[in-house]
Amino acid sequence: MKSSNRRSLLWMGAAGVAAFVAGVAWNFKRQPSVTTGQLDHLWNSSFEAPDASTLSLAALRGKPLVVNFWATWCPPCVEEMPLLDAFYRQHSAKGWQVIGLAIDQPSQVKRFLSQRPVSYPIGLAGLDGPELARALGNDSGALPFTLVLLPDGRVLQSKLGKLSDADIAKWSEAVI
């Protein structure tokens, strides 16, 4: 591996760790609340998927929905993906939807998903992703950031930082 590639990987890893630490610190200070107006920004969004199809969030309105902002270079994001995938496979028949919004370069996301595929849809949020996350209450812009919505639009959970088994269990118990 070239020295410049190693250096780039080290910088990306360091950025991921810094984003995680910032996210955890911010999460302890404040659990963001989300308004109806902020959610309108979400419902009006659409993203290209890695397979070049379009992921329209308006089609998911009125369903229980998990929106997870992530990046390939973010270690806690990658670590929580199997939890999200298992939740989606177990609960999609009950109407639950999970989407991952990748804040990353499309080529990186495609390469990552070819090695670590997930069952739930992925949208390529790119440079617009952090702005959408901020509009949904993630003022710091750190990753991972997850928003869980009930069918009536109420927020069940808004979490900055890595998800846990307890978080997922809370969703499973939600009356939808």
Q: What is the pLDDT of residues 59-106, one digit of tens each?
A: 999 999 999 999 999 999 999 999 999 999 999 999 999 999 999 999
> 125-133 contacts: CB < 8 A, separation 24 or more?
125/47, 125/69, 125/101, 126/102, 129/69, 129/101, 129/102, 129/103, 130/103, 132/41, 132/42, 132/45, 132/69, 132/101, 133/69, 133/101, 133/103
pLDDT band at 28 (very low <50, low <70, confident <90, very high): very low
Domain count, the chain: 1
Stretch among 33-42, 113-122, 140-149 having the lowest mean pLDDT:
33-42
**60-70 pLDDT, tens digit each:** 999 999 999 99
Q: Residue 44, SS3?
A: coil
Give the ranges where 34-176 is alpha helix by DSSP (H).
36-43, 75-91, 106-115, 129-135, 165-173
CB 143 within 8 A of CB 23: yes
Domain containing 111 equals: 3-173
CATH number of the domain enclosing 158: 3.40.30.10
**pLDDT, mean of residues 139-156:** 93
**pLDDT, mean of residues 13-23:** 47
pLDDT band at 173 (very low <50, low <70, confident <90, very high): confident
Stretch among 48-52, 110-114, 138-142 having the lowest mean pLDDT:
138-142
Q: Could you give the CA distance from residue 101 to residue 120 in angstroms, rounded to a whole number?
A: 11
Taking residue 73's Cβ as centre, other Cβ atoms within 10 Å add up to: 23
